[in-house]
Amino acid sequence: MSAAIDSGAAAQDEVVDLLTELIRINTSNPTHVERPAAEWVAAKLDEVGIESRIVEAAPGRASTIARIAGHDSSRPPLLVHGHLDVVPAEAGEWSVDPFAGEVQDGYVWGRGAVDMKNMDAMTLAVVREWARTGRRPARDIVLAFVSDEEGGGALGARYLVNQHADLFADCSEAIGEVGGFSVTLDQGARIYLIQTAEKGINWLRLTASGSPGHGSMVHDDNAVTQLAAAVSRIGAHEFPIVLNDTVRALVDSIAERTGLELDPGQPEKWLHQLGTLSRMIGATIRNTANPTMLRAGYKTNVIPGRAEATIDARYLPGQEHALLAEIDELIGEGIERDFLVRDIAVETSFEGALVDQMAAALRAEDEGAHVAPYLLSGGTDAKSFSTLGIRCFGFTPLLLPAELDFAALFHGIDERVPVSSLQFGVRVLDRFLANC
């Protein structure tokens, strides 16, 4: 047994306790603040002699930052980031209390078990064990446990980048959420998806204006009618397929792993190979726009002079102009469009020493591990950190049961993560961080 596995045994034992404790700190965004969790992280680091700093973007909206010295401090540091906030959970919809951090049937249950207190706990487990045993990483590591990711990061990563860039300015690469997990293909083969790209965000507000009037009369200038037609056109529209380098590389990896001849331009031939993940990956072969909210009127018999809708639009790297042009054509004349949230797309190449170390660490724990890049349909704090010139990857390593619908657990009911997956992740992170 290797030294990495020997020294990681205590971390594997501790990771479940760390995760359950962190889940019990309710950091639902926007109803709760992250300060209690940030203080908990700082205390866990302080217990083993790791100094940290708590930074608040607003009262209670706190992040914890620490730096661990490596053997070669002349190299640019690696940033390891995870967010402390979670989306809210309706307890009545769950099989367990979403904030009890229960362990049942070999799983840790609770809000944040997947998104993304699991990575927070795995990272803490590794660095705490290193501090206890005197081990050090290959290079400096900056740890960032941040607030407000679920709210877009304005009071979290974006604030840190804008106001405290010096904490990260010398970092060259970063790892964070939504990557490094296993996917069992239809053919029975297994691949690990490393996130190298994510879509950009255009959250839009559409506003239609018309002539107010009495609901009993004939009315040909109705803001509600005009807006509803535009929203219907957008909701029914299928954007054209656009295949970027990341998606092509993913399809090539699936083909290599399964032995099948697959054409990236025919997604119906390969998406099903990804099982329950096909819906998420299917959203990365085209731009998307989904109507999400409608607001108009104040009384049944009064035609309002104004109606509003919101659209969640996501664009592939390099496709923002094309997405907005297509939406404007669908909207038509007479409706105003403005941005509620506008954020960049992110993409980096799937190559280099860091990628090699990810693959090596996975293969050391899963001999048949095959890595592939993928593009995330959602967004992460990588958007903010990438603006500092940092290459960002999604790498939260988990070996998952083939039957687990992992994608459905993000923001889902009965969110949970296998204990064995957490222990696997600790072992992989231990190897990776020690050698990267």
**What is the DSSP annotation of 149-206?**
GGGTSTTTHHHHHHH-GGGTTT--EEEESS-SEEEE-TTS-EEEEEEEEE-EEEEEEE
Residue 2 has pLDDT above 60, yes or no: no
Residue 5 has pLDDT above 80, yes or no: no
Boundary (domain end) residue, out of 319, 343, 367 = 343
In a domain, 223, yes or no: yes
State whether 159 and 65 are in the same domain: yes
* SS3 state at 64: strand
State whether 61 and 132 are in the same domain: yes
Predicted confidence band at 354 (pLDDT cuts at 50, 70, 90)? very high
Which has the higher per-residue pLDDT, 73 or 155? 155
* SS3 state at 343: strand
In a domain, 134, yes or no: yes
Site of tokens 């992460």: 380
Give the domain CATH number at 26: 3.40.630.10
Which has the higher per-residue pLDDT, 233 or 265? 233
**Angle 21-23-24 (CA atoms, 0-180°, nearest 5)?**
65
In a domain, 264, yes or no: yes
In a domain, 273, yes or no: yes
Domain total in the chain: 2
State whether 18 and 167 are in the same domain: yes
State whether 42 and 69 are in the same domain: yes
State whether 137 and 275 are in the same domain: no
Boundary (domain end) residue, out of 343, 362, 393 = 343
Predicted confidence band at 70 (pLDDT cuts at 50, 70, 90)? very high
In a domain, 403, yes or no: yes
Least confident of 153-167, 169-183, 269-283, 336-350: 269-283
pLDDT at 279: 87
In a domain, 35, yes or no: yes
In a domain, 360, yes or no: no
State whether 272 and 403 are in the same domain: no
Q: pLDDT tens-digit profile of 116-139?
A: 999 999 999 999 999 999 999 999
Long-range Cβ contact pairs of 324-331 (< 8 A, separation 24 or more)? 324/202, 326/237, 326/239, 326/287, 327/204, 327/234, 327/289, 330/230, 330/233, 330/234, 330/237, 331/206, 331/230, 331/233, 331/234
Two tokens at 214?
């009495």
In a domain, 239, yes or no: yes
Stretch 355-363: mean pLDDT: 97
Stretch 222-248: mean pLDDT: 96
Site of tokens 């009495």: 214
State whether 339 and 220 are in the same domain: yes
Q: pLDDT tens-digit profile of 133-143?
A: 999 999 999 99
Predicted confidence band at 421 (pLDDT cuts at 50, 70, 90)? very high
State whether 307 and 215 are in the same domain: yes
Distance CA 107, CA 432 (A): 24
State whether 244 and 164 are in the same domain: no
State whether 266 and 306 are in the same domain: yes
Q: Are 119 and 41 spatial neighbours (Cβ–Cβ below 8 Å)? A: no
State whether 208 and 319 are in the same domain: yes
Boundary (domain end) residue, out of 322, 343, 364 = 343
Q: pLDDT tens-digit profile of 311-343?
A: 999 999 999 999 999 999 999 999 999 999 999
Task: State the residue range of the domain holding 277.
Answer: 198-343
State whether 86 and 222 are in the same domain: no
Give the domain CATH number at 296: 3.30.70.360
pLDDT at 3: 41
Which has the higher per-residue pLDDT, 104 or 279? 104
